[in-house]
Copies of this chain bind each other. A is one copy, B any other.
């Protein structure tokens, strides 16, 4: 009998696992189950679909069920996994279309159940007009609501990447946007000094920014009409709640699979859970942080793809490892680009590092018309001068420079390893001293 691999979940990690497993073992029987309608989509593109720069929903879909069928991978959507029996090596599933249960046996199981948006735990938080943005369906629903109901007063709760990107998107659609963040500054995964530049830019583009601000309730008749902070209220007719996600791990936990940080599934570098033959990957799983050496829960599309691939390879009999994350992130906010990798100052403290930081401002190019400002903040370990983290805010090709620091941190670079790196220079692309190098000067 052929060996059989089941995959629960069919977005980034699940489909990556299935595709990689097929490449490793052409004979393996592979079945993938998704509880939703859509599979293999790029959720990070949703703000751009809503804004119209990605024209159709189909552009968000990397691969279709038919694409997988051509590689002899069966993908069934609208099938919910109800129970895993690790002893029998079976999964009980429910066909949500025909409303009936069925059981599938497995030799190898990959859990890629993803995450779900956190909701506001407050009065009337489920009024129509209050949305989260996670799935293609969410995106389609928001786009339809904007077109049909023509809301004018937007509230975005949470100023992380999705909140910031949607602030841009909805402002560009001509709507009045208020962005409320419970933390003391926007972009809460960056340091306050860098975030201040982002807030300034948002405000220059007409976004009303409320920091240190908790939304404690809503009011409305048929749809949301008013939002409340502890001390005030204001009219809203559309709300996006983007305050983070929680891993979908109840199914795994019920089967005796060990959870870790943030209740995500604890995995090792081979994506193995504590139960033999069961792997986990993506937004339902932990990841190893390459700077702290600790498990973290930083759900990202990039990590989901990488972990999925490693899980699929190993489940199919290969041998691969994923060596972890740096918490790298990037976003565009109007004309501003923001990025980070490694640890911020805020993150260094609980991690126990004796650190120091310096910031610089310079320009991204030597031709005036192509150059923009770039602020770089670097954080290093006092003990051994190792680069711990970098943050960038700027314009005109500023933020993607973070990858050079990510490469350096991955390789364990000390500051002196970066000082004299031979980076590329020509006037359209950088000053003769690239900002990446200039930022190091402050440490010399």
Contacts and interface: CB of A to CB of B under 8 A. Distances in A.
Contacts of A303: 422
Most chain B beta-carbon neighbours within 10 Å: one of A48, A302, A328, A331: A302
Contact of A427 (B45, B290, B403): B45
A59 interface: yes
Contact of A48 (B329, B337, B427): B427
Contacts of A290: 422
Contacts of A402: 424
B300 A425 contact: yes
Nearest to A407: B407
A327 B406 contact: no
A402 B271 CA distance: 31
A211 interface: no
A420 to B, nearest CB: 5
Counted per complex, copies of this chain come to 2
Interface string A316-328: 0000001111111
A397 B301 CA distance: 21
Nearest to A342: B422
A366 B403 contact: no
Given A12-B432, A397-B397, A433-B305, A325 B406 contact: no
Given A301-B432, A305-B432, A397-B400, 19 more contacts: A42-B427, A48-B427, A53-B367, A300-B425, A302-B423, A324-B420, A324-B422, A325-B422, A328-B422, A330-B425, A332-B426, A399-B429, A400-B429, A403-B424, A404-B404, A406-B422, A407-B408, A408-B411, A410-B417
